[in-house]
Structure 1
Amino acid sequence: MKQTAKDFQLLASVSDFTRFFGFPAPAHPLFTVIDLAGHQPPPESQQPALRQLYLVSLKRNLNGRLRYGHGSYDFSEGVLGFYAPGQLCASDYPAEAFDVTGWLLAFHPDLLARYPLGQKINGYNFFSYQVNEALHLSAQEETQLNELAASLRRESEQPVDAFSQDVLVAQLDLLLTYANRFYHRQFQTRRTASHDLLTRFEAELTAYFAASDSRPLPTVQHFADALHVSPAYLSDLLRTYTGQNTQQHIHQALIERAKHLLLSTSLSINETAFRLGFEYPQYFSRLFKNKTGFTPAEFRFSVQ
């Protein structure tokens, strides 16, 4: 059942967030660094809340293993998670189930409004990754990020002056740049799992277009759901290994299927478009021309 505004608490500020989860009040109105060691969330934090903040958390010692899809994930070592504004959240682990240590950054989008990072952060897809896609850190990487978090904490606790926001945003930009580097490293170092996902994606893509025609156009979400990953994670992994994101792979497979139909059947261009799942034939013709340099009719004629 769809949730309404009455079903969750709105956390519109950093102060709202810290109060709801029982964290210390922030020294800076738009930013805080929270020590997670020994924290016991209050009972009311079990209720869902809509958070209008960015969060970055480095957590250790989540006892046990988290199951997601067909995989099991060990969260006893340091992992870095990212959460964008507009997501529902709750303290959904029983307090006795873990003895978490680490830190949590919470910051309002207004902190970045006057800075290039305000636009740059939209390109960090890991803010849309799922919990099982958290960044696993080496000891050296964890040390680097801990040092940056400590520096951010010291700066956020200083009296606010004309340079406070500049310094906070610069240090936050550096932390996110390191995180981006570490994520790309993870795609490379966890090659077995990455290659397995790539193989499964290729199999899903082939199977979709090998099935009977007149199916809806496949979406990125369709393949992400089939592989039990987030759309952002799937696209980033594919781009790392193939140079193309998920949508580009879908278009490539779609064009190959279109070529087959144009050359092996007497279907009209409109009929071919409908067979492939296009609601409007002109969209099919536009995509085909963009990808091949020919209209569907020109392609059919060129090989006769």
Structure 2
Amino acid sequence: MDIVRKGMSHILKVRNVNDYGSYIGCPVRHPLVCVVDYAEVSPIRHSLNNYSVYGLFLRDDADVDLDYGCGKYDYNKGTLLCVAPGQIGGKEDNGERVSITGWALLFHPDLLHGFPLEKRMKEYSFFDYRVNEALHMTDEEHDILVSLMRQIQDELCKKPDELQNAILVGYIELMLNFCLRFYNRQFLTRKIENSDILVRFDRLLRDYFDNKLQLTLGLPTVQYCADKLCLSPNYFGDVIKKSTGDTASNHIRRFVIRLAKNGLAAGETVSQVSDRLGFEYSQHFSRMFKKQEGITPSEYCQKLHS
């Protein structure tokens, strides 16, 4: 277990599950998996962690500020935050010991080697959500995740055998699938917020072209739009997909094609439209147009005048 100083911050390097378990005084019964019941180890000292493991943190206590990446997050009761290897999260140790409640599941990527879940991990996009995009659970959802935490904890107390890792991975995959279901529910119950994101997305695209940013930056990207809307690309993409049934990148392309059609209908040439919209080559514009519309820009012009 190493604690390194970075700038003014002390960062705990969580290279394996034992690094975190040892820090908070939780017994670790498996080299690749650890379940923490915070009620059993509290009070503990905070830590700002550099993760080399996956972590699911289910916090029941309110009014706890946590740093995560470049932002802060105020936990509410029944909130789930997920971290992945390469991320930094937590709160810097200030010497204070605090009593907290909730659960945590940490597992090392090596646990997944040889299991189908290893290849599926990229499907769980919530590992790359920002802190303000965390999952806020209903009581029922909260109880399901706690039940799974307890089952994993029980399995870790059993004598290891050749099936234990398969059983642990099965529990973890089940928990991740429930998280996916709960996030889908959250997208639906936040329709007003999501529709506001869609409105701001369209306004952002209009302003982008009105300010002629395409001439210096090229076509707007999903990353650019997500950054301007203060969302992670994954969460932004998932919101747009749930709201429109289409991807954010396709939404951008459709917006560009609408502008192109307006220009062609107003008498601009294919080359003029291509240049005005920020395409480096008119062939790229024609290729996008045909992929979206099924015909080339020239054929579209012919239809307009036939």
TM-score range, shorter-chain basis? Answer: 0.7 to 0.9
Contact in 1 for aligned 2:44/2:97 (Cα 8 Å): no
Note if contact 2:44-2:99 (Cα within 8 Å) is conserved in structure 1. Answer: no
Aligned to 1:146: 146
Who is 2:62 aligned against? 62
Residue among 261, 265, 268 paired with 1:259: 261
234-243 vs 276-285, which moves further: 276-285
User: Is 2:10 the partner of 1:12?
Assistant: no
Q: CA deviation at 1:205?
A: 2.5
What is the alpha-carbon distance in structure 1 between the residues aligned to residue 25 and residue 233 of structure 2? 32
Q: Identify which of 26, 40, 44 aligns with 2:44.
A: 40
- In the TM superposition, residue 58 of structure 1 has moved relative to its aligned partner by 0.3
1:192-207 mapped onto 2 (5 Å cutoff): 192-207=192-207
In the alignment, the residues of structure 2 paired with residue 273 and residue 14 of structure 1 have an alpha-carbon distance, to the nearest angstrom, of 53
1:170 deviates by 0.9
Residue correspondences, number: 292
Partners in 1 of 2:97 and 2:138 — Cα distance?
25
Instruction: Name stretches of at least 5 consecutive residues in structure 1 with no aligned partner.
Output: none
- Residues 1:87 and 2:73 are matched in the alignment: no
Pair 65,188 (structure 1): closer, same or farther in 2 beyond 3 Å = farther
Which among 26, 29, 35 is matched to residue 27 of structure 1?
Answer: 29
Q: Distance in 1 between matches of 2:267 and 2:12?
A: 57
> What secondary structure, in the 3-state scheme, does the structure 2 residue paired with 1:33 have?
strand
Instruction: Check conservation: 2:45, 2:98, Cα contact below 8 A.
Output: no
Q: Tell me how far apart the structure 1 counterparts of residues 93 and 130 of structure 2 sit (CA, whole Å).
A: 16
Amino acid at match of 1:180: L
Q: Which runs of 5+ in 2 are unaligned?
A: none
TM-score by length of 2: 0.84
Q: CA deviation at 1:86?
A: 1.5
Counterpart position of 2:304: 303
1:224·1:234 contact (CA, 8 Å) conserved in 2?
yes
Aligned partners of 2:186, 2:251: CA distance in 1, in Å?
22
Aligned to 1:107: 107
1:259 CA drift (Å): 1.9
Pair 231,260 (structure 1): closer, same or farther in 2 beyond 3 Å: same
Q: Distance in 2 between matches of 1:120 and 1:130?
A: 20
Cα RMSD after superposing both structures = 2.9
Corresponding residue number in structure 2 for 1:158: 158
- Residue 253 of structure 1 aligns to a residue whose secondary structure is helix
Matched, 1:230 2:232: yes
Letter in 1 for 2:263: L
Name the amino acid aligned to 1:199: V
Change (3 A) 1:205 1:163: same
Q: What is the identity, as a one-letter code, of the residue corresponding to 2:265?
A: L
Q: Work out whether residues 67 and 73 of structure 2, in 8 Å CA contact, stay in contact via their aligned partners in 1.
A: yes
Q: What displacement does 1:187 show?
A: 1.3
Q: Is the 8 A contact 1:209 1:254 kept in 2?
A: no
Counterpart CA distance in 1 for 2:278 and 2:248 is 18
* Alignment partners' CA distance in 1, 2:97 and 2:302: 67
CA 1:41–1:274 in 2, change beyond 3 Å: closer, same or farther?
farther
Deviation readout 1:148-191 (Å, 9 max, x if unpaired) = 01001111232221000111111111111111111111112223
Deviates more, 1:293-302 or 1:230-239: 293-302
State the one-letter code of the partner of 1:288. Answer: F
Q: Is the 8 A contact 1:126 1:232 kept in 2?
A: yes
- How big is the shift at 1:268? 4.5
